[in-house]
């Protein structure tokens, strides 16, 4: 998916901070993997390269997903919602999306009033980010 992104970018309503929320969904299974934020720049790069790049609000810099961990996301398709203020990324996820080592970030739920974890780690997070240990 490499194309001139101008017409697509023109449909996106970035917020006052220049960000748009992006939902990443596994293109094959439909599993929702994560939500992160994109700038115009990171979205344009994603469309050009086919490798998903977000904007890290905590580090205030472009966040090329998987650059450190190897857990990259290849963009398969991108959908824009009705009012252009959210994008849905259909991705091919290498390994796991979550920094905890789980496939999806949405692994917690309430059961009988307690918070439980519904998914196990698939990868030791210490192996994903060896330089940060």
- For residue 129 the two structure tokens come to 């980010």
Say how far apart CA 132 and CA 27 lie, in whole Å: 30
| Smallest separation (angstroms) from a copy of itself to the CB of 112 | 7
User: What DSSP line would sit under 33-74, residue for residue?
Assistant: EEEEEE-HHHHHHHHHHSB-EEEETTTTEEEETTTTTS--EE
d(CA 15, CA 21): 9
Residues that bind a copy of itself (CB under 8 A): 3-5, 7-8, 11, 21, 23, 25, 29-32, 34-35, 47, 77-83, 86, 88, 98-100, 102, 105-110, 112-115, 118
Min dist. Cβ of residue 102 to a copy of itself (A) = 8
* Nearest approach, Cβ of residue 99 and a copy of itself (Å): 7
Q: Which is nearer to a copy of itself, 112 or 124 (CB)?
A: 112
Of the pair 114, 130, the CB lying nearest a copy of itself is at 114
């Amino acid at each position: 998916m490499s194309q001139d992104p101008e017409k697509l970018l023109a449909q996106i309503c970035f917020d006052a901070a220049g960000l748009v929320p992006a939902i990443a969904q596994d293109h094959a299974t439909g599993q929702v993997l994560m939500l992160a934020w994109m700038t115009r720049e990171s979205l344009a790069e994603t469309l050009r390269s086919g490798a998903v790049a977000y904007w890290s609000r905590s580090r205030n810099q472009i966040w090329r997903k998987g650059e450190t961990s190897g857990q990259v996301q290849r963009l398969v398709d991108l959908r824009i919602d009705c009012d252009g203020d959210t994008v849905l990324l259909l991705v091919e996820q290498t390994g796991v999306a979550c920094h905890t080592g789980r496939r999806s970030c949405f692994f917690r739920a309430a059961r009988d009033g307690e918070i439980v974890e519904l998914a196990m780690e698939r990868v030791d997070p210490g192996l994903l980010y060896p330089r940060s240990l």
